Structure 1
């Protein structure tokens, strides 16, 4: 149990992590900017921005550019602009799902310089890990690649992110894989491993729809259904670190077979995997390989397929309505692979809004995530390790 003073200290350290990343994200997407601009855009006091910027300059993440005078003929003090440092330390981000493992090399501001991928499919964990480390070594051996300081890994499943152990990833068929330990051994640098839903939730907190929210629920809807929780402006992991892992909780009355070997799991009834009966030709295909327009036209003519998709959306929406009533969040954020399919994502948002009881109207807003499928969320997992004061602060304390 944390003492109150320890809990307060940890909350402040997590808040500092999020503020640092928001500064970097804003400069990466809208820079260069002056300190005053950062304070105004982020709604933070100027002394706080001064402290954050000083730390980010000291660790090499940001640089000051040449002074610039405000306006022609201005006699005021020159404004010093800030930007991301192109020579910042490098990190590796590894994003694994049931189809592929994507490996990216990025700087400490999140800018990707090199990337490659390897299939996962029916391959065992050892084979995939060998391919990942081979790709990572190749990316860093490129003349312009540079060595990475840390690695961040995202994988769908039940993950002990304090040790990097993948307890179970049914999407890949992996159990008790010491993913962090094995990659760290092969590459010789620290590795952090996080469940994909938790990583998406952190990305939403830093740079997504939840960056201004105190409370939010993230529905990670793809090959499975995961729930991310944001409470008091920070991701919430629960007492043992796996809050929101609802994929293999049994649904009353369901007999749908699940990939875990049991029947009636949430994932079997509510994920996009559950929708594949409406489009069996997409089984095993990557998103890039699916002809979306042809699939849309075919399903529009097939009433049975429409009913399958509609039932899945309806079940997810009812689950979201229950979670909303329990937590009373400001936002429900529809995220994951589903946002790549406009009709599905819009349909889910509309159905959640439709199910909201009259007394809950205007209390919670449902939105689509603006963080795309290929966003380097694994890089954010890696970046947590670069500040020794906050490394591990998102982990649930013992």
Structure 2
């Protein structure tokens, strides 16, 4: 009931009952403790707070400033942090550079960032911290099982951060955290199934089926970045060869661009500029990456059948160099009506990664993990 109001409100009790399958009486009963605790309020028809409670026709709405949530995205170089309200709207943000990857240093730096973000009223009403990190993350235990960019294995990060910050910590894979933000506050609202695919330093994806984020038996469901699409292709850090990520990640594209130009010092910015200017060998490098991404998307849609796919990540900034080949390959490889799946392109400022982590903290407060 609460999540329906959070993601789709203001909404009447009648609509909540229709969308959840609960009776109107059950909705009223379920809403009462949230109203008493200050998380929900009743609105009059004109949007004003109702003078009294217990009016079933009055829409229910979230009180977004009832509680604040901290979200932090850990990258190889930076910590990106935000404070959001209940609707995951950002109220404050900050960046800290990471000067090392040892666990103690990262925990200390992250605790300092949280202290900088939580000042005044924000500190008094913030109890939950969401942390997003790339790699194999076990949300239930709060352990980073493997993070290639940090060089970590089996790090009990959630418990370490709880001790350092005094906040309740929820740890999640960064792409899955973005998917939660889309599910609750973005393209996934009102959609039964969708996929989020990120293009950039890595190629990541997350799946939502019937409203549930799919983790799989081992927590790595949906990793299309490690689907092999080129037999005998370039090696991947995962130990395989020819993975989508080994061909279409930023590093893979730059490595290939330097090979075809014979310029070991070529920067990504220069490669993009020259490709946009008509440099054919470089354009073919990006087209090859687009082909690999298109194959990965087609495999995802053929197996999963989502209503839509959201493509995001820092690599979207150069999407014009990929798009034609992605769509062409996808159209050829997607089976039957799966080709009608909509591709939504969403630019991704780095704060969105941290906002995804905050959305996970919001989710963890009101929904128990079931998948």
- TM-score over 0.5 (shorter chain): yes
Deviates more, 1:96-105 or 1:127-136: 96-105
Deviation, 1:314, is 0.1
Task: Give 1:310's aligned residue.
Answer: 287
Task: Give 1:108's aligned residue.
Answer: 86
Give me the whole-angstrom Cα distance separating, in 2, the residues matched to 1:208 and 1:98.
27
Deviates more, 1:110-119 or 1:161-170: 110-119
Q: How do 1:1-398 residues align onto structure 2 when only pairs under 5 Å count?
A: 20-27=2-9, 33=10, 35=12, 47=24, 50=28, 53-54=31-32, 56-64=34-42, 68=46, 80=58, 82-85=60-63, 87-120=65-98, 123-140=101-118, 142-147=119-124, 148-248=126-226, 253-259=231-237, 264-277=242-255, 278=257, 296-301=272-277, 302-344=279-321, 346-347=323-324, 350-356=327-333, 360-361=336-337, 364-370=340-346, 372-373=348-349, 374-375=351-352, 376-387=355-366, 390-393=367-370, 396=371
Deviates more, 1:319-328 or 1:151-160: 319-328
Q: Secondary structure at the match of 2:66?
A: coil
CA displacement 1:323-364 (0-9 Å, x = unmatched)? 32223333333233333444156446523543245x613664
Conserved? CA contact 1:349–1:367, under 8 Å: no
Give me the whole-angstrom Cα distance separating, in 1, the residues matched to 2:201 and 2:180.
20
Conserved? CA contact 1:98–1:121, under 8 Å: no
Give me the whole-angstrom Cα distance separating, in 2, the residues matched to 1:25 and 1:211.
7
CA displacement 1:127-167 (0-9 Å, x = unmatched)? 22211101102322x22332421111111101111111111
Q: Which runs of 5+ in 1 are unaligned?
A: 1-15, 28-32, 71-76, 284-289
Deviation, 1:182, is 1.2
Deviation, 1:69, is 9.1
Conserved? CA contact 2:75–2:149, under 8 Å: yes
Conserved? CA contact 2:225–2:296, under 8 Å: no
Task: Give 1:5's aligned residue.
Answer: none
Q: Which runs of 5+ in 2 are unaligned?
A: 49-54, 259-264
**Number of matched pairs:** 352
Q: What is the aligned-residue RMSD (CA, Å)? A: 3.6
For residues 238 and 117 of structure 1, do their structure 2 counterparts lie closer, same or farther at Cα, with a shift above 3 Å needed? Answer: same
Give me the whole-angstrom Cα distance separating, in 2, the residues matched to 1:326 and 1:69.
44
For residues 104 and 275 of structure 1, do their structure 2 counterparts lie closer, same or farther at Cα, with a shift above 3 Å needed? Answer: same
- Please, what TM-score do these two structures have when normalized by structure 1? 0.75
For residues 179 and 296 of structure 1, do their structure 2 counterparts lie closer, same or farther at Cα, with a shift above 3 Å needed? Answer: same
Conserved? CA contact 1:110–1:379, under 8 Å: yes
Conserved? CA contact 2:295–2:333, under 8 Å: no
Q: Secondary structure at the match of 1:191?
A: strand
Give me the whole-angstrom Cα distance separating, in 2, the residues matched to 1:344 and 1:202.
28
Conserved? CA contact 1:160–1:167, under 8 Å: yes
Conserved? CA contact 1:352–1:366, under 8 Å: no
Q: Secondary structure at the match of 2:198?
A: strand
Conserved? CA contact 1:214–1:233, under 8 Å: yes
For residues 232 and 120 of structure 1, do their structure 2 counterparts lie closer, same or farther at Cα, with a shift above 3 Å needed? Answer: same
For residues 391 and 157 of structure 1, do their structure 2 counterparts lie closer, same or farther at Cα, with a shift above 3 Å needed? Answer: same
Give me the whole-angstrom Cα distance separating, in 2, the residues matched to 1:144 and 1:67.
31
Give me the whole-angstrom Cα distance separating, in 2, the residues matched to 1:255 and 1:121.
34
Conserved? CA contact 1:110–1:380, under 8 Å: yes
Conserved? CA contact 1:219–1:225, under 8 Å: yes
Give me the whole-angstrom Cα distance separating, in 2, the residues matched to 1:319 and 1:69.
46
CA displacement 1:40-83 (0-9 Å, x = unmatched)? 9979888376566545424432333567499xxxxxx9974654
Give me the whole-angstrom Cα distance separating, in 2, the residues matched to 1:212 and 1:86.
20
Give me the whole-angstrom Cα distance separating, in 2, the residues matched to 1:62 and 1:253.
55
Give me the whole-angstrom Cα distance separating, in 2, the residues matched to 1:207 and 1:137.
26
Deviation, 1:252, is 5.3
